[in-house]
Structure 1
Amino acid sequence: MKRFKSELRKNGITPMTVWNYKEVGHSQSATQDLQKLMGGKKYFDYPKPVPLIQRCIQLYTDDDSIVMDFFAGSATTAHAVMQQNAEDGGKRQYILVQIPEKTDPKKDAFQDGYKTICDIGEERIRRAGKKIKEEIDADIDYGFRCFKVDSSNMKDVYYAPADVEQLSLDGFEDNIKEDRTPEDLLIQVMLDLGILLSSDIETQNIAGKKVFSVADGYLLACFDKNVTEETVTEIAKKKPFYAVFRDSSMANDSVAANFEQIFETYSSETVRKVL
């Protein structure tokens, strides 16, 4: 076969595979399908046809493959992965990457609240997953998580002593940036500890505080304020592999002082981390 292809190229002929548009669609049909899915609004020009990407998935993936698309656009790849999983019972996952390209302020997408292409893709995934589940009655999980590249959650505190005024020291009482959410901190911790971002995340109420449980209790993290010894003790009793708290969250100095002793008493093998 290689020799045959080589001879073809010598004669100016490039071998190729031709798929009939009736089987894998075309730009016009893809545009119409996406427009119908999005309530009749044309939010995106010339998306890829779902059947085309689905054919590629059939040829080049296993049932548990991870499909990556670094030019996500309207998220056709995610749509195709969910469709294929619904049809053959696969457990494929997808990772999509897209720069937050802004939509045209004069177009429907912008006026309907989709400020970037990413916004369109996210909504397309939600609608496509719901539609597939209703039409095929398949037991598929069409949930997803959306991340963006950002700076650290931690404040910049790299100053020479002479550059720090006495009054500014109050700003260092909490070393985490003011606009960061508990979810932001959790993702940072998961990345630092090498825990998959696709892991199951649940929220629990432990002694009146919100606690994130990751991977069925493998990691327990609490970033609430005024964390008491009762909360620390109840978390320690669950014996997580990792336990993470926010340094400024301890209710008082007594809790901070007894933190290590509580874990030594109830779960000495737990790896403790304080942000």
Structure 2
Amino acid sequence: MSIQKIEPGMPESQSADILADNLARLKGLFPELVTEGATNGRTGPAINIDVLKALVGDATVTDADEKYGLNWHGKRAARQLALTPSTGTLRPCPEESVDWDTTQNLMIEGDNLEVLKLLQKSYAGKVKLIYIDPPYNTGKDFVYPDNFHDNIQNYLQLTGQVEGGRKISSNTEASGRFHTDWLNMISPRLALARNLLSPDGVIFISMDEGEVANLRKVCDEVFGEENYIATIAWEKRTNRENRKSVSSRYDNIIVFCKDKSFISDAIGQLPMSEKALANYKNPDNDPRGLWKSDPATAQAGHGTKSQFYTFVAPNGMKHELESGRCWLYTQSVMQQAADDGRLWFGRDGNGVPRIKTYLEAKDRGLTPETIWFAEDVGTNESAKNVLKEIFDGAAVFDSPKPVELIRQMLLMATRKDSIVLDFFAGSGATGHAVMLQNAMDGGKRRFILVQLPEPCPEESEAKAKGFATISEITENRLKRSAEIVRNSQDATFDGGFRKYYLASSNIRRWNSAPSTLESSLLDHIEHLVENRTTEDLLAELLLKLGLDLCVDIQVREVAGKTVHSIGSGVLVACFDERISVADAELLALGLVSWHKEQTPAGEVTCVFLDSAFENDVAKTNLAAILEQHGIAKVRSL
């Protein structure tokens, strides 16, 4: 046995290949559907359309133009973009992180399309809640242009990290592609986001009237119309907007779940607000606890004959019905309630009877509604004021969302150990909300925030405060809000985050264009990118092998070599630059010994630098010893 070298195109060299995974699932269900050979100039597995028609019937397979749905120029390319694997990586940045060794939170700087691809293997099916506030299509907001052929290079150019950067422009209505550009931006990102949701996962998307209709149609296609939950009207302002012909008072929050068969786990009840709780009192020392009184009558049209009567209170006072009203219960039920002390007649005992509603009966919570009022969840203005307090009076972000708004979503759709994702992180309000909620209820929710390093406008307060990019605001808000939560809540919580940023792969040959892989001269020179560290390589392995970016990493000297053990030994990596024939046996035996100590839960993968081995003998000997002891998956970079 020898060590297998990870080559371009192999699963370990790129993010999840969703297209290949889809084909594999189809082949597993219907082997006859997938054929091999040359199709449309390409080789490999393909769908046999004739077999598909035979399996499901001709009438259910169509490529006709006249069909119900949302279509736009570039839709097919946008769909393909979501299916194209990324060869990029995320580079760790411990010096800009907080509590790197212990935190379970992530803050990632980069183009969210590529980041979502890179997160697929590690977090697919694990995210309970996604909240995004994507750019509204106003003609002023940043549009994410995507280069189908080389998205990483496109991103590096746009953000000025390589020469030849292009100007970041607005999406103006005069461009003729006003809605099209926005749809091409949002649709592949939603497709990738859906893969990350757990079966009982939920996505909340903020949007104004400009694209809400299109957004709903895109979500119907991506998530399935049957998985639509609601469109929530959030009262984003309380003052009248006089500059418009009709003042816009609310924004929309579209809500979809991954799979509505899990709806009872996807959406839960909301706890009562402090304002609502204040209505529950106990002026008569009722042994059943706190209560509030509700009307004992209803509209007459809802009643039966048995609900029209003169009610006689325990003190003998008669109570007649008002016109158009009936009693809520029949006479015998009302009488029993009075005898049990479950009716309230006012402090003087002579008032119109009212039903006692006990707080204990409401402990299960309240069903969420489709209107969220400003007094409960805040407004754009209140969120801006909070941000000013955080940033010493500076308005560093134009339209932040209130922390209370996002907390409402957390209360509805997360458990105390859920993963929460926001890939349009903006001011970082989602991270702030997660930390605050954890501090309030003892939860261990984790956040993953992704933000493009979009330049702050030259004349902005953010620029005057020294922030070059929006992602710098995100990062700074997380650090400052953690301190604010810590000072306001008497509780412990995870106030840290690991920061990563998007970059091209650490392995030169993995960065090569597919058309030049075989002939690339880079294959014959040093294959590691200059100035990349062991930590960079480890992060890339975590992503490409599907391990959590916050997994525990242990370091040990084994046979004079530095070895990293990740996830209790699921991944073992040694990036020492020289492994001689003499070293190979001692290193292999040391790895076997450490492996026995850790007893990892899954299959073990060992990774080494290919160039480190003195010769093929060293490589073969090391691999053979590992295999003899049950470690068969050995790879080299």
Question: Shorter chain as normaliser: what TM range?
Answer: 0.7 to 0.9
Which protein shows a greater Rg? 2
Residues 36-89 of structure 1: CA distance to partner in whole angstroms, max 9, x if unpaired? Answer: 223444322231111121122112222233222232101101110111111112
Q: Which residue of structure 2 lines up, in the alignment, with residue 25 of structure 1?
A: 378
Q: Which residue of structure 2 lines up, in the alignment, with residue 216 of structure 1?
A: 568
What is the CA–CA distance in structure 2 between the aligned matches of 1:81 and 1:73, rounded to whole Å? 15
Q: Give percent identity, aligned residues only.
A: 38
Contact 1:103 1:114 in 2 (8 A): yes
Whether 2:619 is the aligned partner of 1:256: answer: yes
Secondary structure of the structure 2 residue equivalent to 1:29: helix
Whether 2:412 is the aligned partner of 1:59: answer: yes
Q: Which residue of structure 2 lines up, in the alignment, with residue 235 of structure 1?
A: 591
Query: 1 or 2, which has the higher strand percentage?
Result: 2
Per the normalisation by structure 2, the TM-score is 0.36
Which 4+ runs in 1 deviate beyond 6 A? none
Whether 2:539 is the aligned partner of 1:187: answer: yes
Structure 1 gaps of 5+ residues are 1-14
Contact 1:173 1:248 in 2 (8 A): no
Counting matched residue pairs gives 252
Task: Write out aligned runs for 1:40-51 (5 A).
Answer: 40-51=393-404
Letter paired with 2:552? D
Task: Write out aligned runs for 1:153-232 (5 A).
Answer: 153-156=506-509, 158=516, 172-206=524-558, 209-227=561-579, 229=583, 230-232=586-588
What is the CA–CA distance in structure 1 between the aligned matches of 2:594 and 2:621, rounded to whole Å? 18
Whether 2:424 is the aligned partner of 1:71: answer: yes
Secondary structure of the structure 1 residue equivalent to 2:568: coil
How far is the alpha carbon of 1:232 from its aligned partner? 5.0
How far is the alpha carbon of 1:231 from its aligned partner? 4.9
How far is the alpha carbon of 1:91 from its aligned partner? 2.3
- With 181-190 and 81-90 compared, the bigger mean Cα shift is at 181-190
Compared CA separation, residues 160 and 255, structure 1 to 2 (3 A)? closer
What is the CA–CA distance in structure 1 between the aligned matches of 2:455 and 2:612, rounded to whole Å? 38
Letter paired with 1:85? N
Residues 249-269 of structure 1: CA distance to partner in whole angstroms, max 9, x if unpaired? Answer: 34x33643532244246x432
Q: Which residue of structure 1 lines up, in the alignment, with residue 478 of structure 2?
A: 125
* Cα root mean square deviation, aligned: 3.1
Contact 1:132 1:138 in 2 (8 A): no
Q: Which residue of structure 2 lines up, in the alignment, with residue 268 of structure 1?
A: 630
Within the candidate set 451, 456, 479, 1:103 is matched to 456
Letter paired with 2:544? D
How far is the alpha carbon of 1:159 from its aligned partner? 5.9
Compared CA separation, residues 231 and 134, structure 1 to 2 (3 A)? farther
Compared CA separation, residues 245 and 138, structure 1 to 2 (3 A)? farther
What is the CA–CA distance in structure 2 between the aligned matches of 1:205 and 1:218, rounded to whole Å? 18
Compared CA separation, residues 98 and 233, structure 1 to 2 (3 A)? same
Contact 2:444 2:494 in 1 (8 A): no
Compared CA separation, residues 111 and 17, structure 1 to 2 (3 A)? closer
Secondary structure of the structure 2 residue equivalent to 1:272: strand
Letter paired with 2:569? G
How far is the alpha carbon of 1:120 from its aligned partner? 1.4
What is the CA–CA distance in structure 2 between the aligned matches of 1:244 and 1:33, rounded to whole Å? 48
What is the CA–CA distance in structure 2 between the aligned matches of 1:16 and 1:67, rounded to whole Å? 22
How far is the alpha carbon of 1:185 from its aligned partner? 1.7
How far is the alpha carbon of 1:173 from its aligned partner? 4.2
What is the CA–CA distance in structure 2 between the aligned matches of 1:113 and 1:255, rounded to whole Å? 53
What is the CA–CA distance in structure 2 between the aligned matches of 1:35 and 1:204, rounded to whole Å? 47
Letter paired with 1:236? V
What is the CA–CA distance in structure 1 between the aligned matches of 2:558 and 2:439, rounded to whole Å? 37
Secondary structure of the structure 1 residue equivalent to 2:491: coil
Compared CA separation, residues 203 and 112, structure 1 to 2 (3 A)? farther
Secondary structure of the structure 2 residue equivalent to 1:67: strand
Structure 2 gaps of 5+ residues are 1-368
What is the CA–CA distance in structure 2 between the aligned matches of 1:231 and 1:153, rounded to whole Å? 25
Compared CA separation, residues 243 and 114, structure 1 to 2 (3 A)? farther
Q: Which residue of structure 1 lines up, in the alignment, with residue 467 of structure 2?
A: 114
Q: Which residue of structure 1 lines up, in the alignment, with residue 234 of structure 2?
A: none
What is the CA–CA distance in structure 2 between the aligned matches of 1:231 and 1:40, rounded to whole Å? 58
Secondary structure of the structure 2 residue equivalent to 1:238: helix
Q: Which residue of structure 1 lines up, in the alignment, with residue 444 of structure 2?
A: 91
